[in-house]
Amino acid sequence: METTTKKQPIKRDPNLVPLSREHHFGLLFAWKIKQGLAKNASLETMRDYVLYFWETGLQEHFLAEEDLLLNILPATDVQRYKILREHETVRKLIDQIEAKTEFSEAVFETLHTYLTDHIRYEERTFFPYLEQQASLEQLTKIGKHLAEEYAEPEDNFQPEFWVSK
């Protein structure tokens, strides 16, 4: 008899859970972009959605990670540098979409793929690394800050271009 092993969920330090919840919303955002492309949604509508999502959560999420998490690590840390570089790449893609430079399905596809890969990297590699590097006091400070500042993400964008008609 063949047995299958089910992947166990990643055990996350409770102080980082709010950021992991936001990652879930980020993955959902990327999925909606992918669905919009598959359904030939208006690029203008998708542009509006990207800017909406950036302004209502993703931008603040990046700033929180950079301020709360990356400052724990030394400036020369390879993981720190990788996260900063990837955040900058996402910012540039969003700037291109906003300015309508290289405004095509390709830039939306790149955003979808890049952001999905980035979030998965943070969840599977960077967060476990950070949990090993940070002291309990540092993690507790992060958790306290997030508890005071965290609001459950909302996505009320209309029209729902990713839904089948």
Instruction: Give the position of tokens 């476990």.
Output: 128
pLDDT at 32 over 70: yes
36's tokens: 């919009």
- Give the DSSP letter string of 90-125: HHHHHHHHHHTTT-SHHHHHHHHHHHHHHHHHIIII
pTM (predicted TM-score): 0.89
Distance CA 31, CA 56 (A): 17
Q: State residue 164's pLDDT score.
A: 73
Residue 126: closest CA among 26, 6, 14, 10? 10
Neighbours of 11 (CB within 10 A): 8
Query: Tell me: the pLDDT tens digits for 110-151?
Result: 999 999 999 999 999 999 999 999 999 999 999 999 988 877
Q: Which residues are CB-neighbours of 14 under 8 A, at least 6 positions away?
A: 143
Q: Which amino acid is at 39?
A: K
Q: Which amino acid is at 73?
A: L
> Given CA atoms 62, 67, 68, 74 in this order, what sign does their dihedral have?
positive
Q: How confident is the model at residue 2 (pLDDT cuts 50, 70, 90)?
A: low
Q: How high does pLDDT run on average in the chain?
A: 91
Query: Tell me: the pLDDT tens digits for 91-108?
Result: 999 999 999 877 799 999
Q: State residue 10's pLDDT score.
A: 65
